[in-house]
Chains A and B, each alone.
Chain A
């Protein structure tokens, strides 16, 4: 018997044309730039931080730091969890309007669920809401 969250479903209607919309990626798969501080996988409490990734990023400059899933496939092709190149293809083919100005990677594993829910999650939402020009977000996990 699955227990469902008692919180309201945070459903926001999508009332734009996809072909005119900017899309952001938010992933819990532990994706970050090679030059950014890796997520802390030594702390079994997890890492509550997140990293901002700009749309001009070369996907070869991305990596994964996460110790709770096998990310060998993401290491070989980051698009399996962070579809940056795919969004560029969709933009070129006019399926979407473009890429948002900010994308986010964080490490979904944490034992600090309250801090994740009340701290990290609204901080990420604020980053997307402020200055990313995202019209919609695609979410992925590991």
Chain B
């Protein structure tokens, strides 16, 4: 087994960063349960998914979470924090 390239879409970036995922996208302000966006917002969902898939080929730093903003999402939510 040579390994399988992965990309994570996370709405809990601090929690996910602890595990140092190989590639990860945080759509800023999305709430838990909305990894790709809100229901039936197909264009937004598609944008998040294609951005995530793009990270497969981009020169990201393994273990870091990339944050992107999506104005179409609307109301923003604070992600869960890791207790220090």
How many residues from B make CB contacts under 8 Å with A? Answer: 44
Given A3-B18, A4-B20, A18-B56: A83 and B3 interface contact (C-beta under 8 Å): no
How many residues from A make CB contacts under 8 Å with B? Answer: 47
**Structural contact, A137 and B18, CB atoms closer than 8 A:** no
CB < 8 Å: which of B1, B6, B21, B36 contacts A80? B36
A interface with B by C-beta (< 8 Å): 1-5, 7, 9-14, 18, 23, 26, 29, 69-74, 76-77, 79-81, 83, 86-87, 89-90, 95-96, 125-126, 128-129, 134-142
User: Which residues of the other chain, B, contact A135 by a CB distance below 8 angstroms?
Assistant: 5
**Structural contact, B56 and A14, CB atoms closer than 8 A:** yes
Which of chain B's residues has its CB closest to A134's CB?
A: B4
Complexed CA–CA distance, A12 and B60 (Å): 12
